[in-house]
Structure 1
């Protein structure tokens, strides 16, 4: 259970198993660790090299299709968005398209950060499908079969088409390809899920899907949103899921923004008067679609609970103005329209402000239990029949997630044990190597000392030999010097004798 604490990320953005996640990454990690569904055929189109080329649009507006060929291709969303390689990390998004589960398991924080910055238009539909594991050829075939069947809700659906995104060019033309796609997907779902049937809010979450993927894939993703992301309970006839979310919303509002909560109480403003549309349409009834896409990026990443963060970010941003409005009608008008204005031109600020709202999963679970207890006490009939089945489905889904989490943790525990054993083995081997190296070093030291001693003795012997030789040479030199001196004395004596003889000779000649 996530208690709101955080762990330190590694340099690559990944986390160790023991580190809790509080930024919504836990939802990504949990879904990535379930069995992956087959990738969309679109995946093959989004190779790394293809994305890096800076292709801005891979989806084009299509012509209307007949019932025998119901699928429409997605249309481009924002013609002025710059999807150039210099602004978008195509290498990262290429790895997401090709190996989403691997990236989600290894780098959930990095993925969450990139999702907060926005999925590029060119791959948004593909990434949404990968995140919710919606690719299913059998379900796509089921969708085509459902289109051949009648729906008791068809007239109501057609009546609402003109009121769903009336200003968006793709849905504005009556009977145009956009309205036709919307009709097909919603009608098919109404036949598929007869308990829910049709509610106008479904059109507001279907429209953004159709702008990012073909009809049959949009249907598959819609089914996933309804079942795996718990949107379905917002649209059941008794709307028990919506009641739960509004109960949680009012309690959290009181805890997080008591001044606003008290102000609403003073003017008898209840959450169902303004927040119902937020949950049922993911703000699409008011926000520009490019902002709705960013909100849905985070819903696919973090679940339906992310709507709470966006709602509270809106209230926090407008708190001063809200507290200045002092009548019910002005407050309701502002909450339904003016509340959104500060973020219309700054969607990145909305993402950051929403991320700053911290609500733990345990808090949501605790409030859900309190809501059920309150219903059981005050309105037991509401918990019978459909409501109980809905609650059972929710609890069963929670149980499945808990079991999946347990299996995942068990696998991770086994892996950690294996890694621990491997590390111990490596440590023992390293210690043995160190010991061997120490023995080798000691041996080398002994050899070095021995060789040094031998060298010193050899040097000493050589010095003694040279000293002795030098002594002998010195003595011999002295002897030679004595001999030279003696011969010089003899020469001098001979010279003197010669001079004497010359003098005698000269004397004799003179006589």
Structure 2
């Protein structure tokens, strides 16, 4: 599906995609707000220092492009795809070592970032989306698109309501063509999985997938593998039980990894889910600059959902001293909002996420989730009974 790019071709494409930002002389002198577009066309406002950071990031992206291109030239176009062991046949020790070396190299490379031009190919392969698509007829997406055309459900109504509010001002997403493409992806998935249907937050996720993957069908399969395999179950179902569990796990981790912050916020009666719920539901797409978000997603599609906890903890850790000086809830929210929206250099965030937060194993997170599930389900059940009781009282009064 994808051709192989030579080092020269890759460098040329990266150069074409990543122009240097040049603020005006007046902006430099007055340190005024500068408006520009980022790598994916999103409008950004920042000062001249922000522009300099963005240019440094562009140079890092170019360098990563050269590294990946060199690996493709020496190891082959799909060197990152590791062969499976079939029928229990043992691999030769030399091949085992080669696969292990490739895995270590790949993990390091992915944490440093996948070049934008290679993201569609690498994501689609490593996430499992390509394998998932291969289990159904090739016409699956187009057939389902035709089958659901014109049908109206609660999900389609909510999708139509959210389309104009999804990244307003983007030169393609905020157009009739962009809205139509995003609508098809979301509506088709709502029929594929009726338990999820549509949940607010998925519009931002699907929109960013569209920009990266370039085609609706590929974006659809990336959304499918994300919701069905990468993230924990029930994050986007009606009662959001999975998301509630993740929030409780995150609160526990904040106590362990950032105890001073957790103690201070608890004394202020600040619930971290006020900010972290959106982070987890939108996978940071609404909070972080686009290239920073996509660097997080690079890791998400290879290492799994634990990166979301690493990043959320890192955001708090980066502003520990400021947060410890706060006295009001609004101050905390403003600090975190200002921090996330100006994290133009992904390395600043990911360095803290992995060097200062420490390890979070999938097994540890799994145990934490199992520990929290009973309390979450009991709370949701109590909430449902309360709503039903209020409903009955209202009916009696009528």
TM-score past 0.5 threshold: yes
Alignment of 1:478-497 (within 5 A): none
Who wins on radius of gyration, i.e. which is larger? 1
Mean CA deviation greater in 157-166 or 87-96: 87-96
Partner of 2:259: 258
What are the Cα deviations for residues 8-38 of structure 1, in whole angstroms up to 9, with x where unaligned?
xxxxxxxxxxxxxxxxxxxxxxxxxxxxxxx
Distance 1:284 1:294 in 2: 11
Alpha-carbon contact 1:234-1:280 (below 8 Å) kept = yes
Among 66, 70, 77, the alignment partner of 2:40 is 77
Partner of 1:36: none
- Structure 1 vs Structure 2 CA RMSD: 2.9
Alpha-carbon contact 2:288-2:343 (below 8 Å) kept = no
Partner of 2:211: 211
Give the C-alpha shift of residue 217 in structure 1.
Answer: 0.8
Classify 1:262/1:49 alpha carbon distance in 2 versus 1 (closer, same or farther; 3 Å): closer
Classify 1:332/1:58 alpha carbon distance in 2 versus 1 (closer, same or farther; 3 Å): closer
What are the Cα deviations for residues 278-316 of structure 1, in whole angstroms up to 9, with x where unaligned?
101111112221211111111112111101101111110
Q: For residue 173 of structure 2, give the secondary structure of its aligned residue in structure 1.
A: helix
Give the C-alpha shift of residue 52 in structure 1.
Answer: 5.6
Among 106, 112, 115, the alignment partner of 1:111 is 106
Alpha-carbon contact 2:241-2:376 (below 8 Å) kept = no
Alpha-carbon contact 2:314-2:349 (below 8 Å) kept = yes
Classify 1:50/1:78 alpha carbon distance in 2 versus 1 (closer, same or farther; 3 Å): farther
Give the C-alpha shift of residue 374 in structure 1.
Answer: 3.4
Unaligned runs of 5+ residues in structure 1 are: 1-40, 60-75, 385-511
Classify 1:50/1:133 alpha carbon distance in 2 versus 1 (closer, same or farther; 3 Å): farther
Is 1:121 aligned to 2:121, yes or no?
Answer: no
Q: For residue 66 of structure 2, give the secondary structure of its aligned residue in structure 1.
A: coil
Give the C-alpha shift of residue 189 in structure 1.
Answer: 0.6
Is 1:338 aligned to 2:318, yes or no?
Answer: no
Alignment of 1:287-302 (within 5 A): 287-302=288-303
Alignment of 1:345-494 (within 5 A): 346-356=345-355, 357=357, 358-375=359-376, 378-379=378-379, 381=381
TM-score by length of 1: 0.58
Alignment of 1:32-431 (within 5 A): 41-42=1-2, 45-48=3-6, 51=9, 54-56=12-14, 77=40, 81=58, 88-89=66-67, 90-93=69-72, 95=75, 97-102=77-82, 105-135=100-130, 136=133, 138=136, 141-148=139-146, 149=148, 150-152=151-153, 153-173=155-175, 175=176, 177-213=177-213, 214-230=215-231, 233-335=234-336, 337-341=337-341, 343-344=343-344, 346-356=345-355, 357=357, 358-375=359-376, 378-379=378-379, 381=381
Alignment of 1:22-37 (within 5 A): none
Distance 1:281 1:96 in 2: 35
Classify 1:379/1:292 alpha carbon distance in 2 versus 1 (closer, same or farther; 3 Å): closer
Classify 1:248/1:127 alpha carbon distance in 2 versus 1 (closer, same or farther; 3 Å): same
Q: For residue 249 of structure 2, give the secondary structure of its aligned residue in structure 1.
A: helix
Between the two proteins, the alignment pairs up a number of residues equal to: 321
Classify 1:97/1:304 alpha carbon distance in 2 versus 1 (closer, same or farther; 3 Å): farther
Distance 2:76 2:41 in 1: 22
Partner of 1:400: none
Alpha-carbon contact 2:285-2:293 (below 8 Å) kept = yes
Alpha-carbon contact 1:151-1:191 (below 8 Å) kept = no
Distance 2:144 2:15 in 1: 31
Distance 2:145 2:314 in 1: 40
Give the C-alpha shift of residue 178 in structure 1.
Answer: 2.0
Classify 1:134/1:121 alpha carbon distance in 2 versus 1 (closer, same or farther; 3 Å): same
Distance 2:354 2:124 in 1: 23
Give the C-alpha shift of residue 164 in structure 1.
Answer: 1.2
Unaligned runs of 5+ residues in structure 2 are: 18-38, 43-54, 83-97, 385-398
Distance 1:254 1:78 in 2: 38
Distance 1:139 1:226 in 2: 20
Distance 2:347 2:103 in 1: 20
Alpha-carbon contact 1:267-1:327 (below 8 Å) kept = yes
Classify 1:57/1:87 alpha carbon distance in 2 versus 1 (closer, same or farther; 3 Å): closer
